[in-house]
Structures are given as structure tokens and as C-alpha cells.
Amino acid sequence: MAQLKMAGGRQAEKFIRYLMRDGARIRAKRIFSDALEEARRKLRGMVAPGELLSVAIRNARPRLAMARRRVGGASYEVPVLVSQKRGLAMAMRTIIVMAHQEKGRAMARRLAKALLMAYRDELND
């Protein structure tokens, strides 16, 4: 628990809530801390866990989203800026969905891989 406070604080707690399924908070915390440790090991300990999480979320955060606007009888999709709060939620969901989509390995390893991809800004490639 002390490591989680050090590793991202409020962002870490929010990420754990997004990761949690069926109220299994302890399991989600373990998966999250194992994933951060795995990602840190792959980066050879060069980055603090809190920094890794915040950079990964910042890189995964969308700047624009498409919204439908109705003009007359026609609907158009127009780009709109994403608010900070909505962008944070979308980024966390994107990272977690990426981890869930990959099958065959432990969730902590899949989440570590998704966090590393987001950290290296390889999500949109």
C-alpha cells in the first residue's frame, strides 16, 4: 500500500478502480503493482513507478474526439477538444482494454506491456 501511494497517488488509485472487476480490489492492486514492477524492470529501473504511470497516461490521452453535430437535416462529425477529466478516463480505459485484448499471459504482464507501449508512445503506430 505504501508503494502505491508513492507510485502515482490519486492516478494510481483511480487506475486500480478502473482495473478492478467484481469488487476484487486487492487482486487489482496486486496486478497493478506487479505490472509497474515488471515495466520498471524492463526499463532497467531508470524510471520511477509514478513517473512511468503519469507519462503513460499522458501519452495515451486523446487530444481530440469526434462529436456529432446536427445542422439542418444532416449530421456531421466535428472534432472537439477532450476535457482533462474525460481524457484521463479515456487513457486509462485504453491501456486496460489493450491489456485485456492480449491473451495467453498473466494480466500483470499484459498490463506491463500496455503501460510500456503507452510510455514509449507506441499506441497510435
112: domain CATH number is: 1.10.455.10
Residue 88: strand, helix, or coil: helix
Task: Please check whether residue 46 lies inside any domain of the structure.
Answer: yes
| The pLDDT of residue 8 | 63
Task: Please check whether residue 125 lies inside any domain of the structure.
Answer: no
Q: What are phi and psi of 62, to 5 degrees?
A: -75, 145
Residue 88 C-alpha cell reads as 484521463
- φ/ψ bin of 72: left (φ > 0), alpha (ψ from -120 to 50), beta (otherwise): left
CA pair distance 89, 18, nearest whole angstrom: 9
CA pair distance 74, 28, nearest whole angstrom: 45
The range of the structural domain enclosing residue 86 comes to 2-119
* 0.85 exceeded by pTM: no
Q: How many domains does the chain have?
A: 1
Task: Please check whether residue 92 lies inside any domain of the structure.
Answer: yes
Task: Please check whether residue 58 lies inside any domain of the structure.
Answer: yes
Task: Please check whether residue 25 lies inside any domain of the structure.
Answer: yes
Q: Which is nearest to 19 in space by CA: 119, 120, 96, 118?
A: 96
| The pLDDT of residue 123 | 74
| The pLDDT of residue 59 | 95
Task: Please check whether residue 124 lies inside any domain of the structure.
Answer: no
Residue 95: strand, helix, or coil: helix
CA pair distance 43, 117, nearest whole angstrom: 12
Q: Model confidence over 11-69: pLDDT tens digits?
A: 899 999 999 988 899 999 999 999 999 999 999 888 888 899 999 999 999 999 999 99
| The pLDDT of residue 46 | 87
